[in-house]
Amino acid sequence: NDMLSVAMGFLITASILRLTGKSKMTSNANTELKDISLRQAIIVGFAQMWAIVPGISRSGSTIAAGILSGIKFESAAAFSFLLALPAIAGASLLEIIELARNGFQLGDFTIGHLALGLVVSAAVSLASLYLLVQILRKGKLAWFSWYLFLLGVSLMIWQILSLSRG
């Protein structure tokens, strides 16, 4: 049952991303990062709020909301990234507090493991961000919607078949 809601989230994200490919809807996307209005920031903030629903991509929905509200493609990606920083910092702080409560017991892990994980995570994040900006510059974010449509429909079919057997 939970997987059906995830599948629906994928389909919703796909639909939102698909809208970014419609030239009439994105032809006014020319606001630079430094010029984002309060109205645009609120629209993107609401998109981030909806991303608590399983299957709805936080970055996909915030970037699409930014573009659809008139923010330039690259600026929408940068704003989405900046908007994620407080959430990531907050989650990290909660994890550090939990580690402190447990006396910084890392189990089988060492500080070296954590450092390596941090470095690899940062490298993959930067590479992903670079790739995303390249996709946005070409105006091809909507292409990702086809992947999400396929994934959402496949997941729904799998869940329906699983429920009918069980």
Q: What is the pLDDT along the chain (166 residues), one digit of tens a residue?
A: 688 899 999 999 999 988 887 766 667 778 999 999 999 999 999 999 998 999 999 989 999 999 999 998 889 988 998 898 888 888 888 988 887 887 777 777 777 887 898 899 989 988 988 888 788 777 777 888 899 999 999 999 999 888 888 6
CA 25/CA 61 separation, integer angstroms? 15
pTM of the shown model? 0.78
